[in-house]
Amino acid sequence: MEYRQLGSTDIRVSTITLGSMTWGMQNSACEAFEQLDYALDKGINFIDTAELYAIPPTAETYGKTETIIGQWLAQSGQRQNIILASKVCGPTAWVPHIRQGKARLTRQQIVQACEDSLKRLQTDYLDLYQVHWPERPTNFFGRLGFEPDSVNFSQDTDITPIDETLSALHELVQSGKVRHVGISNETPWGLMQYLSAATERDLTRIVSIQNPYSLLNRSFEIGLAECAYREHVGLLAYSPLGFGMLSGKYDNGALPANGRITLFENYQRYRTAEGIAATHAYSALAREHGLDPAQMALAFIRAQPFVTSVIIGATNMQQLTSNIASADLNLSGAVNEGIQRIHKLHPNPCP
């Protein structure tokens, strides 16, 4: 397993992160424990979760993933051997069970959310605490381009300033409850605002950004990659397999039992006509070179110089074993050339 520096910190994290959002919904606690034990045995030291999880979000599963991880930590005694990351929700009108649908990125709510996560996780500190998504309306969660009509300058005073959000995160760092902070589902403007606020107000500097990045969505490369690379803000790439599409298991219209797209019909972000065409091309390329499609997709993401770690998730041990094995795969020049050809034909089909 390769390890990379997390931003400008002295922490080195595995290039594969174990994601956890299925634990408590598609996976039981017992299955989660098995995944955690196996991942650590294979050299993974980075575990990512969030107060929102399990997914899909419901009142019954809110915080359940963190609770499962906390139980594992209490039983295993492995806290000192892992880098543990969690996230605080942005506005939650679409998930009304979280803070009555009125979540904000204010000091009070961030501090309380962190305290609640620590209790569920049965730990005194988080290595990385991230803002799950912005409070302001902007292009994230499947929206590729910025829409000026979404901005109402007269209402901006009702949006929690990034300065206040970062000040709250800084307070958590100063208290010892959080070691480092990051952002997620952010734009280049948002990233630079956090960095500017840190410099101007002598606050904790963000060290990571967790955004979607896959063969089906390389939009991070357009504006964020340069910002992240020059500013030493590492990308933690989520959805590297596009809800499992890039594994090839949904090829030719297949709907395998227990697949996320099979179980949750509204999860169609990566199952557009353009996405299906691109996926078919990538699957064919992988098989032409004798590669597993999922491993090829993960190896491509891992190889990018602005990526710190690739967040994988699995609902069974066979998937997990295969995905972790991608850490040993280095793509040939011919494969990379093939990927670029397909990308030119199907650029960012699933933002």
Residue corresponding to tokens 């990538």: 282
Q: Is the peptide bond before 134 cis (omega within 30 degrees of 0)?
A: no
CB 39 within 8 A of CB 78: no
Round to whole Å and give the CA distance between 303 and 235: 12
Round to whole Å and give the CA distance between 328 and 344: 27
Catalytic one of 53, 129, 194, 282: 53
Round to whole Å and give the CA distance between 176 and 160: 24
Q: What are phi and psi of 296, to 5 degrees?
A: -60, -45
CB 303 within 8 A of CB 326: no
Reference 127, options 46, 229, 71; nearest CA is 46
Q: What CA–CA distances, in Å, run from 180 to 38, 119, 196?
A: 26, 18, 17
53 is catalytic: yes
Residues 6 or more apart in contact with residue 261 via CB below 8 angstroms: 243, 244, 245, 250, 255, 267, 268, 270, 271
Active-site residue numbers? Answer: 53
